[in-house]
Amino acid sequence: MTTTQAALRPRALPEGFVYLADIDPTILSEVRYAGCHNFVGRPVPGYNAPVILMTEAAALALKAVQAEIAPYNLTLKVYDAYRPQEAVDSWVRWAEDQSDHLMKAEFYPEVNKKDLFELGFIGKRSSHTRGSTVDLTLVPLPVPPQPSWKPGDPLVSGKLPKGQRFADNAIDMGTGFDFFGDESHPQNEALPLEARCNRLLLQTLMAKHGFRGITTEWWHFTLIEEPYPDTYFNFPVE
């Protein structure tokens, strides 16, 4: 094996964890925390590569969801799954730094970031760190183009209507991913009917295949029968 081949070889994962692409390569990913288009505006510690890691049990459940929606010309797109504790700890420090509001205009324009823990959008302990939680959406097939965001690009509120907020190639879920506000609550009745129906579709599919959602984020689901319900991991995403 050459040095280059060794460098590109996937890391050995803890028992029970897999690369989602090895289980179902048809599932799309957009790993926001490995880049700069996220609520802190920079790569998050612990995310060393734009890959999705999760428990095998959760990955197999997603594969079943993907198989069900494929005949309807839809695909899953995953933003995040396993999250190192190192990343969670970095967000605690970020929330305490009141001088850093780099991405406020898009992701949390109407809340003080120090309140994000109390509001339920981020936590000092995250179910993601147990490996069986996923943030995701639905994308039509054939896959529409996905614009790239670069540091310095204009920021607009993630609660604006589709076509006015940052372009996402997903079906309309009413807000952008990781918008921290009431508009992201799955049962928000003030949203347009299309977005509410799209959220209901996602929730129904995920529940059918063993996941439960939360009350604050339409994109967030945890496998009910997760294999490590009491273990918070801290190995890097690479």
pTM for this entry: 0.94
Residues designated as active site:
217
Cβ-based neighbours of 94, under 8 Å, separated by 6 or more: 40, 100, 113
CA distance 123 to 229: 16
Positions of the chain with pLDDT under 50: 1-9
Q: Is 44 left (phi over 0), alpha (psi -120 to 50) or beta?
A: beta
CA distance 173 to 35: 22
Contact predicate 105/156, CB 8 Å: yes
CA distance 121 to 132: 18
Note the pLDDT of residue 12. Answer: 86
Burial per residue of 202-230, b for 16 or more beta-carbon CB atoms within 10 angstroms, e otherwise: bbebbeebbbebbeebbbbbbbeebbbee
**Amino acid at site 21:** A
10-18: long-range contacts, CB 8 A cutoff, minimum separation 24: 11/236, 11/238, 13/53, 13/235, 14/233, 14/235, 16/55, 16/56, 16/57, 16/131, 16/227, 16/228, 17/53, 17/54, 17/55, 17/56, 17/82, 17/131, 18/53, 18/54, 18/55, 18/56, 18/59
Could you report the per-residue pLDDT of 18-72, keeping only the tens digit for each? 999 999 999 999 999 999 999 999 999 999 999 999 999 999 999 999 999 999 9
Note the pLDDT of residue 10. Answer: 58
In order, the DSSP letters of 99-142 are T--TTHHHH-TTS-GGGTTTTTSS-SS-GGGGT-EEEEEEEESS
Note the pLDDT of residue 4. Answer: 39
